[in-house]
Amino acid sequence: MSKLFFIAIVVVALVAAGILYWLNQPEPIKTTGDAIEAVSESPLADIGTESNPGKKLPDVNPVTQTNPFKDVYQNPFAP
């Protein structure tokens, strides 16, 4: 009798779990209008400001900064 009681409890628990799973599933999108609304709702839609790091680059010419120490040391063996 206890074996049959245990099986009944397991079956009832599985049925209850199946019903809870079925009730908690999200409702599918039925029309194309609903699909467009679902896709267009984005948490990133309100960003507004654009980021362009290239606009604020410093004016650096690498040719003028080749050797900042060129006048400090004179080579005595240079021709």
Model-level pTM greater than 0.85? no
Using a 10 angstrom Cβ sphere, with 0-12 exposed, 13-18 middle and 19 or more buried, the burial of residue 51 is exposed
Amino acid at 12: V
**34/36 Cα distance (integer angstroms):** 5
What pLDDT was estimated at residue 44?
A: 59
**5/45 Cα distance (integer angstroms):** 56
- 16-32 pLDDT, tens digit each: 999 999 888 887 766 77
What pLDDT was estimated at residue 46?
A: 58
Domain positions in the chain are 3-66
Residue 38 CB contacts under 8 Å (≥ 6 apart), including other chains:
29
**27/33 Cα distance (integer angstroms):** 15
Q: Which residue has the higher pLDDT, 11 or 37?
A: 11
What pLDDT was estimated at residue 12?
A: 96
